[in-house]
Structures are given as structure tokens and as C-alpha cells.
Amino acid sequence: MVDLALNNPLTRQDLLRQRLEAGEPLIAVDLASEFDISLDTIRRDLMVLEEEGLLQRVRGGAVPIRRPSSTYKERRITPETECDALVRAALPLIREGMTIMIDGGTTLTHLARLMSPLRDLLVITPSPSVASIMLEKDITTYLVGGQVSPWGGIAVGAEAEGAIRNMAADLAFAGVCGLDAEFGLSGDHASEVGVMRAMAAAARRTVVIAAQSKLGQRARHRVLPVEDLSMIVTDADPNTMQPFRAAGVEITHV
């Protein structure tokens, strides 16, 4: 039986806001069936929410627009809640004799904390926090220089990007603000995106550690299309990850 309250656009739009806040994509044909309304009506609802800055319309529906993250300083004081198991699952990728690039952010700083001082391991990073941890572990490290962004806590700008382009690595661990099957890997700040692209170009394989909460999210700037990612380590369910797998990305489930 159809809830008559759903005939009210304000009621429908409140329901859609709740789903967007939960990070859910909105599929127009499914919503039209669920609410027993026409596709044109649900599209008008989506247009209203787009004007509010809550979503971006895409073919077949809409995806939530994530709010830019707080600064690295603010995020680092928040206890890790969802990345520990993901980071531990990524550790076996790091082996003796490798050269690896590690981006900034709280998840990859946590990766640095858990790393072992393997023989002949070289870490290249634009993150002073990661470099400091490597120093304590006696891991050989090259710290990329430049102005430090307060958002990801990494060096950014032409100097940083140029230095990375002149290096070669086995793996690049890229930070993630959003990860969407159509839009790809994305970041909040253009200056950091340039550094991330340089890291991915310099490495044989690019690895992303992405919690379920980052899936289906689109940050402001695309870093890489899905096809350019080598592996995603995630706690998302297999059905959610199927489009990524179909694009040739290796998926490690936690």
C-alpha cells in the first residue's frame, strides 16, 4: 500500500536527504517505483536537491556530493575507527627491496605506523608525518619538499610534482576522499590532486585503501579514472565492488 505522505514532495525530499547523508546513490527508476510516482516527478525532486548542493545528477539518478574534509590537524586527533583492519590487509603488499610512495592523510599515516623496517625498503612521501614515522623505524625515506597543505598534510605545488615525476616506484598508496565507479578516485583540493597524479604516474601499481563510507562518493576533483587503479582494499560488499572489478581493478575484501 502506498504511503499517501509520499505524494507530498517535501516528504519525499526529506527521505532523499536522509539517504544522501548516509552516502547512498539515488536510482531514479527504483525511487519512482518505490514512491509510486512518475520518473518526471522524481527527476524534479532530484533537481531541487541538486540546487541545494546535496547531490550531483548522473545518468539514471544522482550521487551524493560529499562535504570537503576537515584539516589534517583536526582529523588526526580523532581515533581510528574503520581503517585499522583495512590497513593491516594492505601491509603484505609491501615487501623487501621495494620502492613505495605513500600519500598523506590519516589512513596512510596509520599504514606508516604499522609498517615493518624491511630490508632495502625505500619510502618516498610528500608527508612530513609519514617521513617522521619512517625515521623512527630506521626506514630509508625520501621526503618530497614544497609548501605543506593543511588538508592532507602533504607537500604540494610544482616543486613537489616535479620531484615525484623524476622517481620510479613499485607501489603508490594514494589517499582517497571519494571513490565512485564512474567518476573514479577523487580529492577535495586541486593542489593535492596534482601530487597524487604524479605519484600514480611514477609507480607501477596504484593502491587505494577505501572504507565503505568512501564508496559512491565524488569529491571535487578527479584524480584518476577507475581503470588506472591497480588494487582497492575495502570493507565494501562484493556487489558494490563489481563495477570496479569489471574495470580490471583487483579487489581485496576485509
The fold of the 72-253 domain, in CATH, is: Rossmann fold (3.40.50)
* CATH classification code of 4-64: 1.10.10.10
Q: In angstroms, rounded to a whole number, what is the distance separating the alpha carbons of residues 65 and 45?
A: 16
Domain ranges of the chain: 4-64, 72-253
Whether the CB-CB separation of 154 and 132 falls below 8 Å is answered with no
Q: By 3-state DSSP, what share of the chain in percent is helix, strand and coil, each rounded to 5?
A: 40, 25, 35
Give me the phi and psi of 85, to 5 degrees please: -65, -35
Residues facing residue 234 across a β-bridge: 210, 253
Q: From residue 135, how far is each of 52, 102, 117, 143, 236 by CA, in Å?
A: 47, 14, 10, 11, 33
For the segment 25-39, the average pLDDT, to the nearest whole number, is 90
Global pTM? 0.74
Write the pLDDT tens digit of every residue in 75-130.
565 545 568 999 999 999 999 999 999 999 889 999 999 999 999 999 999 999 99
Judge contact between 165 and 202, C-beta under 8 A.
yes
Q: What is the pLDDT of residues 46-86, one digit of tens each?
A: 999 888 777 878 888 888 776 656 555 555 655 455 689 99
Secondary structure letter of residue 91 according to DSSP: G
Quote the CA–CA distance of 106 and 104 in Å, as a whole number: 7
User: Which one, of 212, 206, 204, lies nearest residue 253 by Cα?
Assistant: 212
